[in-house]
Structure 1
Amino acid sequence: MPPTPETVEVDFIAPRHLAGGGDPAWITFPLHRACGWSHGNYPLMPRVLLSSPDQKALLRLEPDPNGQWWTLNHAAEQDRPAWYASFGARTPVELIAAATDTLTDPAPPAGVPADPYEPLQQIGWSPAAADNGLVSPDGTAYLQRLGSAEEPDAWFVTATLGPDRPVWQARFGAHAPARLVAASPLRSPIRSPYRASTAGAVSRPTTRRTTAVLAVYVAGALEERVHSLAARHAAPPTSPVPSRQPPAKNSRSR
């Protein structure tokens, strides 16, 4: 009788924004191996620094009990002033990866909403009573843009268990590309398949579904992600232009 394939138990959490932080490698490995970001060597310090190939973007992961653990700074460009994005310690890595994947995409897909509010309104998020923001149907997530229509300011995304009980917060500077905010998978109901959280989900008001998954899928999920992102940078092979042949001569003269 053939041996039974080894399985492991994986938790699927809903809502995803309360699933816990997850494994930082889901972000850092693809940036380095698939997108060419370089990293410093700080063996005695609990931090990671990754810089983009053009040296315009710097991602910092540094435990900070009083602030954001993840910070992305981008230098000014010809058509955009300098901007930043930052994420709290318990921000699910899938949300942060959605932003970095969008930033590093060499050919951003068409159809990404320019207004981050749009996809959330389509799934039932409603206007917040106090200000210009949206709140999720269960009241545990909140998206807000500070400032005014004439002078818009930073975006804030907050996961909370109630008044004065924030779980994490993501912040996007006033000049951050709106597509990074719109790419956030807040609308997704569960953690990515085959990915177990290493930080632990918030106990309430989440629901947890545990299922057995082949261990080979769990072990290969990160490699599969790296290969998928690397494929975006591989230019499709160009078809050789067929050479024009002179017209064949008719063997019979008239």
Structure 2
Amino acid sequence: MNDTVEQALITPRHLAGSGDPGWITVPLHRAASWSYGHDPLMPRVLLTSPDQLIQLCLDPDPDDPGWWTIRHARTADHPGWTATFEARTPAETIAAFTDALTDPSGPPTAAPDPCAPLRDAGWHTPPRLGCLVSPDNIAHVWRIGASGRDLWSIETAVIQDPTIWRAVFTGATLLHLIAAVTQSLADRMTVHTRHVPAPDIAFALERRVSALAARHRPAPAAPPRPLGPSPRRTR
């Protein structure tokens, strides 16, 4: 009989805890070919995209809550932007951002509304508060500034802990990346446990890497058409 592991599944995502940072960093390196250049003697991770335009820094500084920083350099077509995630941001939420960021299909033709999945999930806008609030009143999504230059902020807080975690996206951050994060948060509050085979847990990251790496493989070429007899010319 195979060993099993009790797995706790917690939603909404904003209450899930920080999780395993490898869920983010390992696929970036192995599936999306981001290079690493950090000092192995320092508790810091630096990953850089193949085009050298984007860098992820994981800097576990107890005096700085913004452990995760993703920076995109300015290009001729788009200004630079920065996304930061505090230490207790769920790894799955950050992974939603990096998965969208490394999707080889690129951004959609029409920019999505990051608020749409939250409204569909029952998030509401209290009077005079100017933000979207989760049904449990713990998570808040703020949009500050003028359209096209606005700053987005996601914050979770309870009375016992004024701030559980916060994520901030500067105004030039592409909307489909923010929408990937809000989509990951658009779920309901449930807690349940299940027993799963231990290998399913042990190889979950490997399956994730394989699935993401498949996005970067070229589609197989169509087989050549068979050569038939040359048509006979008639007068």
TM-score by length of 1: 0.84
Question: Structure 1 pair 213/112, CA: closer, same or farther in 2 (3 Å)?
Answer: farther
Unaligned runs of 5+ in 1: 190-205
Q: Is the 8 A contact 1:145 1:156 kept in 2?
A: yes
Whole-angstrom distance in 2 between the partners of 1:32 and 1:182: 23
Structure 1 equivalent of residue 208 of structure 2: 225
Deviation at 1:23, TM superposition (A): 0.3
**Which secondary structure does the structure 1 equivalent of 2:222 belong to?**
coil
Alignment of 1:65-214 (within 5 A): 65=62, 66-108=64-106, 114-149=112-147, 152-162=149-159, 165-184=162-181, 185-189=184-188, 208-214=191-197
Whole-angstrom distance in 1 between the partners of 2:205 and 2:110: 25
Question: Structure 1 pair 163/175, CA: closer, same or farther in 2 (3 Å)?
Answer: farther
Whole-angstrom distance in 2 between the partners of 1:225 and 1:134: 31
**Which secondary structure does the structure 2 equivalent of 1:126 belong to?**
coil
Whole-angstrom distance in 1 between the partners of 2:137 and 2:110: 25
Unaligned runs of 5+ in 2: none
**Which secondary structure does the structure 1 equivalent of 2:221 belong to?**
coil
The alignment status of 1:236 with 2:219, answered yes or no, reads yes
**Which secondary structure does the structure 1 equivalent of 2:32 belong to?**
coil
TM-score by length of 2: 0.90
Q: Is the 8 A contact 1:113 1:119 kept in 2?
A: no
Whole-angstrom distance in 2 between the partners of 1:24 and 1:234: 25
Deviation at 1:128, TM superposition (A): 3.3
Identity %: 47
Question: Structure 1 pair 109/174, CA: closer, same or farther in 2 (3 Å)?
Answer: closer
The alignment status of 1:36 with 2:19, answered yes or no, reads no
The alignment status of 1:27 with 2:24, answered yes or no, reads yes
Runs of 4+ in 1 over 3 A off after TM superposition: 108-113, 243-250
Question: Structure 1 pair 109/219, CA: closer, same or farther in 2 (3 Å)?
Answer: farther
Q: Is the 8 A contact 1:145 1:152 kept in 2?
A: no
**Which secondary structure does the structure 1 equivalent of 2:101 belong to?**
helix
Deviation at 1:13, TM superposition (A): 1.2
Structure 1 vs Structure 2 CA RMSD: 2.4
Per-residue CA distance 1:116-161 (angstroms, 9 max, x = gap): 0111111111113334321111101111111134x64210011111
Letter in 2 for 1:171: V
